[in-house]
Amino acid sequence: MAEQFMDVKATAKFLNMSVTWVYRDAPNQGLTPYKFGSGRNAKIQYKISEVQQWARQQKLS
């Protein structure tokens, strides 16, 4: 099954965070960005399964 990705805007909405946070802080928090393309046309996206897993790991006990 092919991996499914979501763009930065969708990732921010899913996590209820800002787009700026996703670009700047998400990689430092353990989310792995994927870059598709190069130059000005490059797109940063995140694997849906990885974002969901990361969100589950943020649960407070």
Q: Round to whole Å and give the CA distance between 42 and 58.
A: 29
pTM listed for this prediction: 0.88
Q: Round to whole Å and give the CA distance between 41 and 43.
A: 6
pLDDT per 10-residue tile (average), the chain, 61 residues = 90 97 96 95 96 93 78
Instruction: Please count the structural domains in the chain.
Output: 1
Tell me, what's the pLDDT at 61?
78
Domain of 33, in residue numbers:
5-57
